[in-house]
Structure 1
């Protein structure tokens, strides 16, 4: 079977994969001092952010998974690790027996606040080669996310 592309650089999927793996390496380096994986950071910071926007009323695992666009089962596994680290608490939802409410502990809030600075600094450095075209990249990525 032959590829439709004469050069690897003609394949947007392959190029996206290369950019993603390079960016993920940068994220691993940024998060290493905090002993967080990138999925742990994304879920922890997103839980913090969503709770702050919701007046700390709590969010469910499903809401969190939908926000970050990952599988609910993966979310549950990562949250279990964050709970063991003492960064989040899961408690039964007051009205939905199937749901858990996620809240961020004081230590989770502190580590998320420090880690986001390192992540955003690394992001700025990584994407700085695009200059003013970063906005165009974000616009195109939004199109892909919305499908």
Structure 2
């Protein structure tokens, strides 16, 4: 069986895979000083961001997983690690006995604030070659994400 593509560069999936690997390497390097994996960073910063927009009332694990578009079981495992590091706290939900409220600790807030600066700098550097086309890339990626 042969591919419909004459060159590997014609395959959008293959190209996306290559670019994703390069970008993930840049993000890993940015997060290394904070001893965070990329999923840990995404959930920690998302928790901070969502809580700030929710008047620090706390968010549930399901809300966090939905926001990050991450599997609930994976979210639970990553949150367990963040809790062990002292970056988040899980407390019983006041009205739903099946849920926990996730909040960021002071240490977690500090790490998340520093790490997001490093990640955003890595993003700027990585995507700088696109110049003003970054907005178009964001629109196209958002279009794909809505599937």
The TM-score, its normalising length taken from structure 1, stands at: 0.99
Distance in 1 between residues matched to 2:92 and 2:7, nearest whole Å: 53
Q: Which runs of 5+ in 1 are unaligned?
A: none
1:35 CA displacement: 0.3
1:74 aligns with 2:71: no
CA deviations over 1:23-54 (Å, ceiling 9, x no partner): 00000000000000000000000000000000
1:93 aligns with 2:93: yes
| Residue number in structure 2 paired with 1:112 | 112
1:56 CA displacement: 0.2
Q: Which runs of 5+ in 2 are unaligned?
A: none
Q: Supply the RMSD in Å over aligned alpha carbons.
A: 0.5
| Residue number in structure 2 paired with 1:8 | 8
| Residue number in structure 2 paired with 1:38 | 38
The TM-score, its normalising length taken from structure 2, stands at: 0.99
Distance in 2 between residues matched to 1:11 and 1:91, nearest whole Å: 47
Structure 1 residue ranges (4+ consecutive) displaced by more than 3 angstroms after TM superposition: none
Distance in 1 between residues matched to 2:19 and 2:100, nearest whole Å: 35
| Secondary structure, counterpart of 1:40 in structure 2 | helix
1:29 aligns with 2:35: no
